[in-house]
Amino acid sequence: MPYTYNTPAQQEEMLQSIGANSIDELFDLIPDSVKLGRPLNIPPALGEIALTAHMQELARQNTNITDNTCFLGAGSYDHFVPAVIDTLASRGEFYTSYTPYQPEVSQGNLQVMFEYQTLICQLTGMDVSNASLYDGGSAAVEAMLMAINITRRTSRVIVLESVHPEYRQIIKTYFATIGTEVVSVSDKSQLLDALDETTAAVLIQSPNFFGNLEDVATIAEQVHTVGALLVCSVDPISLGLLKRPGDAGVDIVVAEGQSLGTPLLYGGPYLGIMACREEFVRRLPGRIAGQTVDQDGKRCWVLTLQTREQHIRREKATSNICTNQGLFALRAAIYLSVMGPQGMQDVASLCLQKAHYAQRQLTNLERFETLNDQPFFKEFVIRDKQNDVAGLLEKAEDFNMLAGVALGRWYPQLQDCLLIAVTEKRTVREIDQLVEILGS
Amino acid sequence: MRNKHATQLIFELSTTGRSGVVLPECDVPVEDIKQLIPASLLQSQRPALPEVTEPEVIRHFTNLSTLNMSVDTHYYPLGSCTMKYNPKRNERIAAWDGFAQLHPYQSEGSLQGILQLLCDLQQMLAEISGLPAVSLQPAAGAHGELAALMVAAAYFSELGEKRTKVLAPDSAHGTNPASARMAGFDFITIRSQADGRVDLEHLKENLGDDTAVFMITNPSTLGLFDDQVEMIAELVHNTGGLIYLDGANMNAILGITRPGDFGADMMHFNPHKTFSGPHGGGGPGAGPICVTETLRPYLPSPAVSFCEETQTYYLDQGSEKSIGRVRSFFGNVGVLVRAYCYIRTHGPDGLKRVSETAVLNANYLLSLVKEFLEVPHGDRCMHEFVASAMPVREATGLKQPAMDIAKRLLDYGFHPPTVYFPLTVAEGMMMEPTETESKQTLDAFAETLRAIVEQSAETLHNAPHTTGIRRPDEVMAARQPIVKWTKTAD
């Protein structure tokens, strides 16, 4: 028992105080008929040295992106994480604390939440942000549920096919249960045809799953003409250069916040960003920190608007969500603070330039062509005229290179296509090497 | 030590022209941005973020951290949250490149270590729960509840049964009713008896062929094991309904009894509580769910499976009946890695001893606390118990003595218990010491509490006296919400 203290003698004293003869007696409340009566059939205990060795063995069987060059994206990106983030986020006062139920001894976490909310508003141009949700995908579905509550239109929502396929799957799962129709459209003209007065919301993503930028402002106008809301999933890194969704008429912004200072972690835990227009603040799901004063008039922070939440409203709450992703909101807050306006602009510019260089070099090769000529940010699709995406990926792996994400699993018509992401971390040498390997 | 000057927001530290990071020069030929992106999609100015240096960022956030109580620094008996010690070895291991630097869309062949870990974790959770089919995908306990209720809905839909109601006792976590509503069910509250157990008569009155699921937290939020649980399961099963076990309190029963053995069809774990993932100031958690063999086909996909033929681990996309995804990628893997380390560190005997020690500690604290506070539900408990500050109300006339005592505890350097939950206990104070606290700590806490309840009404009501801020005005915060910083004119 590595993490407990009490000696057998102390345990004896404790039992005496309780008035019990044995620890077993404390479990008398549990009927014998349901007691296990045998040891659990799980592996025996490992000490710290043995555990470390065992975990090293498992870790060695994974190809990690530190020892390999990563051009994989599709919603999870290999961006630079400044050292200050790990240093600060690994402080026990941050990561071993909990939801700030007692504001007097949680001002650190509360102020971080407040700063995070402000930073997200500054980045997205939206009026209000919550203190985060689980991930980009569940943030998207929560936004759609929120839009249904706001518009009181329960029959249908529209989702563009260029939204992350897994986000669309999550929406399908949630909405199948509550019986709202999810209409899938492939482009802007289909969207126009599908929009009607019963539509609660439209979900788009920009840059979309293929890396291309949508004409958000025009779509927003069209969506608003039928009284529906526009929910837009964005890449927070792109906002170092691109027009803010708040300036383009978006009603609710969601994003996967992993890019803001969190490593890949095989997909989680990540950070669900959600921000909206002022008038919807009481419909937002999740925790929100607010500014107030204490009884001596000092500025301070508390959890606020809690009457939206499950612990007060129970079945009438805006969501069942209990916590935020505090530790990852902290990481994002540190990231945005340390980057500042210049850093965000520089990161976005580097991604943009390098991705375009890689795309030019690859499509200069006879073997590859682009899927479309729409503008893109840091990610793009190439089509392999020889239709051997699996072979290309395997070959690249031999050179310690993770070349891209094959699209066939989600889009059968794109089974000869590869999605390639280029972040600021990739060097010209790595890009040239990728081009050489894929082209050889 | 807290720096008294560090009272500003990061935005108030900003000086135009400063930056905390220097990015490399662009090493590819640079194109004119306007040639790459239409001007209408570009921002006209840089994002209005603060401009601070790296040392300023370090000092700012380090000072903020010192304003928090945490498990590493304080005793934190926050009931229902299982604030146990977070092992440092697990933090270190989870941060290794071999776990932290893996992309979710790498080939399965390049991920055999993590897939093996997740596959083994599925099996261990199945064994601990007594429920054989596992999904690791949900991102938190509440998310697990929702996923499991969707599983139930899909199951009944397949059977062609129209079951519209989810039931849970009045002592349930608020997430239970909220999850039921999100999964499209009507919610019915079932009364508890005076002794804290489910009121069977009231349950019977509400059971019928429209009952989908009865959600039970056992041990309950009162820290009691409801010994009627087999009977409850039989009643619910006889109507064709399912039992959901809210696994928030698994810390009391590891290796002692299993939800699958006392009648549960579905449950979630809170690995960040039971298996000691740190709470992170309010997340991330994880919410893996375990269900019966009958419900397996409906679980979220994918799960991890092992192929005997090729001797490799792979992502199993599941059956056509699967409800589909509830989260992107594979869920909160980082939390699951820590849970795996925790379970492997303890083994079968160790996990049982975790629960035995947690229950011993809670009963010991109860034996001390009942001397001066009311404990309405008896002299014995599981891993936590709920005391009532009603005697203090009677003695002092204070309207909200539980709140006042909680605030006074802050002056003595203890994090207070959970107060005013569950809703069924007046002036409730829910104490969960966990297994990682020493007798000395419990003694000191009880002594302090004893001293506090004897203090004057004025002392209590004006508490805390020593914290940096005191009793923030929450009403004002909600009435005129200020939820972001805005620049004021100089």
Decide: A119 and A332 in contact? Cβ < 8 Å.
yes
CB-based contact B20 A105, cutoff 8 Å: no
pLDDT at A1 over 80: no
What domain range includes position B120? 90-345
**What is the β-pairing status of strands A272-276 and A128-129?**
antiparallel
End-of-domain residue from the set B345, B378, B409:
B345
Q: What is the CATH number of domain A69-81+340-439?
A: 3.90.1150.10
CB-based contact B333 A244, cutoff 8 Å: no
Percent of chain B beyond pLDDT 70?
Answer: 100
Decide: A181 and A144 in contact? Cβ < 8 Å.
no
In this prediction, residue A250 has a pLDDT band, given cuts at 50, 70 and 90, of: very high
Task: Tell whether B159 is covered by a domain.
Answer: yes
Q: Which residues of A88-108 are buried (b: 16+ CB within 10 A; e: fewer)?
A: bbebbbbbbbbbbbbbbbbbb
Q: What is the pLDDT of residue A315?
A: 81
Q: What is the pLDDT of residue A173?
A: 96
Contacts of A40 in chain B (CB under 8 A): 127-128, 254-255, 348, 351-352
Q: What is the pLDDT of residue B488?
A: 82
Percent of chain B beyond pLDDT 90?
Answer: 95
Task: Tell whether B430 is covered by a domain.
Answer: yes
Decide: A274 and A133 in contact? Cβ < 8 Å.
yes
Nearest CA to A203 out of A163, A235, A243 is that of A163
A161 contact partners, CB below 8 Å, separation of at least 6? A168, A184, A185, A186
Same domain, B181 and B207: yes
pLDDT at B102 over 80: yes
Distance from CA of B395 to the nearest CA of A (A): 25
CB-based contact A402 B327, cutoff 8 Å: no
In this prediction, residue A312 has a pLDDT band, given cuts at 50, 70 and 90, of: confident
**What is the β-pairing status of strands A199-206 and A252-256?**
unpaired
Q: What is the pLDDT of residue B401?
A: 97
Same domain, B281 and B154: yes
pLDDT at B33 over 90: yes
Decide: A257 and A132 in contact? Cβ < 8 Å.
yes
Same domain, B95 and B217: yes
Interface list for B 183-242 with A (CB within 8 A): 183-184, 187, 224-225, 227, 229-230
Longest CA span, chain B: 79
Same domain, B227 and B254: yes
**B73, closest residue in chain A (CA to CA):** A93
**AA identity, residue B449:** L
Same domain, B186 and B52: no
pLDDT at B446 over 70: yes
CATH of the domain at B340: 3.40.640.10
Q: What is the pLDDT of residue A309?
A: 78
Task: Tell whether B254 is covered by a domain.
Answer: yes
Alpha helices in B271-331 (DSSP H): 271-274
Q: CA A368 to CA B361: how far, in whole Å?
A: 66
Task: Tell whether B442 is covered by a domain.
Answer: yes
* Helix axis angle, B333-369 to A8-18, nearest 10°: 50
Q: What is the pLDDT of residue A259?
A: 98
Same domain, B260 and B157: yes
Q: Is A347 exposed, middle or buried (0-12, 13-18, 19+ CB in 10 A)?
A: buried
Query: pLDDT (tens digit, 9 = 90+) per residue, A67-92?
Result: 999 999 999 999 999 999 999 999 99
Return the bridge partners of B289, or none.
B135, B268
Helical (H) or strand (E) element with A109: helix A107-124
pLDDT at B489 over 80: no
Same domain, B95 and B192: yes
Task: Tell whether B78 is covered by a domain.
Answer: no
Q: CA A125 to CA A105: how far, in whole Å?
A: 32
Q: Give the tokens for residue A18.
A: 């309780």
Interface list for B 46-85 with A (CB within 8 A): 46-52, 54, 57-58, 60-62, 64-74, 76, 78, 81, 83-85
End-of-domain residue from the set B65, B82, B107:
B65
Nearest CA to A58 out of B115, B49, B373, B407 is that of B115
Task: Tell whether B295 is covered by a domain.
Answer: yes
**A109, closest residue in chain B (CA to CA):** B281
Average pLDDT, chain B: 96
Task: Tell whether B71 is covered by a domain.
Answer: no
B12, B13, B52, B287 from B16: Cα distances, Å: 11, 10, 8, 44
Q: Give the tokens for residue A298.
A: 């000092």
Decide: A418 and A387 in contact? Cβ < 8 Å.
no
Same domain, B249 and B160: yes
Same domain, B257 and B370: no
Contacts of B43 in chain A (CB under 8 A): 239, 241-244, 247
Q: Is B343 on the interface with A (CB under 8 A)?
A: yes
The ipTM of this complex is: 0.97
Query: pLDDT (tens digit, 9 = 90+) per residue, B304-356?
Result: 999 999 999 999 998 999 999 999 999 999 999 999 999 999 999 999 999 99
Residue, of A230 and B2, whose pLDDT is higher: A230
Q: CA A4 to CA B439: how far, in whole Å?
A: 10
How far out from the chain centre does Cα B193 lie? 27
Mutation for B interface: A98, A308, A370, most B CBs within 10 A: A98
CATH of the domain at B438: 3.90.1150.10
Q: For residues B441-460, give the mean pLDDT.
A: 97
Same domain, B405 and B372: yes
Contacts of B261 in chain A (CB under 8 A): 34, 36
A270, B408, B485 from A116: Cα distances, Å: 15, 30, 10
Distance from CA of B10 to the nearest CA of A (A): 7
Interface list for B 231-290 with A (CB within 8 A): 253-258, 261-262, 276, 278-286
**B477, closest residue in chain A (CA to CA):** A292
Q: CA A155 to CA B139: how far, in whole Å?
A: 28
Task: Tell whether B487 is covered by a domain.
Answer: no
Count the domains in chain B: 3
Query: pLDDT (tens digit, 9 = 90+) per residue, B146-160?
Result: 999 999 999 999 999
DSSP tally for chain A: helices H, then strands E = 13, 15
Return the bridge partners of A290, or none.
A302
pLDDT at B490 over 70: no
Q: For residues A49-55, give the mean pLDDT.
A: 98
Q: Is A113 exposed, middle or buried (0-12, 13-18, 19+ CB in 10 A)?
A: buried
Q: CA A265 to CA A269: how far, in whole Å?
A: 7
Place of tokens 């500014």: A291
Q: CA A256 to CA B360: how far, in whole Å?
A: 43
CB-based contact A48 B89, cutoff 8 Å: yes
End-of-domain residue from the set B345, B368, B387:
B345
Place of tokens 């690791």: B136
Same domain, B322 and B265: yes
Structural domain A84-335, CATH architecture: 3-Layer(aba) Sandwich (3.40)
Query: Where in chain A are the domains?
Result: 69-81+340-439, 84-335
Q: For residues A186-214, give the mean pLDDT.
A: 97
Phi-psi region of B75 (alpha: psi -120 to 50; beta: other; left: phi over 0): beta
In this prediction, residue B1 has a pLDDT band, given cuts at 50, 70 and 90, of: confident
In this prediction, residue A265 has a pLDDT band, given cuts at 50, 70 and 90, of: very high
Q: CA B173 to CA B62: how far, in whole Å?
A: 34
Residue, of A402 and B2, whose pLDDT is higher: A402
Q: For residues B270-274, give the mean pLDDT.
A: 97
Q: For residues B423-439, give the mean pLDDT.
A: 95
Can the peptide bond before residue A207 be classed as cis, meaning omega within 30 degrees of 0?
yes
Mutation for A interface: B10, B19, B34, B49, most A CBs within 10 A: B49
Task: Specify the 3-state DSSP secondary structure of A95.
Answer: helix
B28 contact partners, CB below 8 Å, separation of at least 6? A353, A354, A357, A428, A431
Longest CA span, chain A: 84
Q: What is the pLDDT of residue A319?
A: 83
Same domain, B21 and B144: no
Q: CA A303 to CA A325: how far, in whole Å?
A: 15
Percent of chain A beyond pLDDT 70?
Answer: 100
In this prediction, residue B406 has a pLDDT band, given cuts at 50, 70 and 90, of: very high
Q: What is the pLDDT of residue A316?
A: 82
Q: CA A417 to CA B94: how far, in whole Å?
A: 34
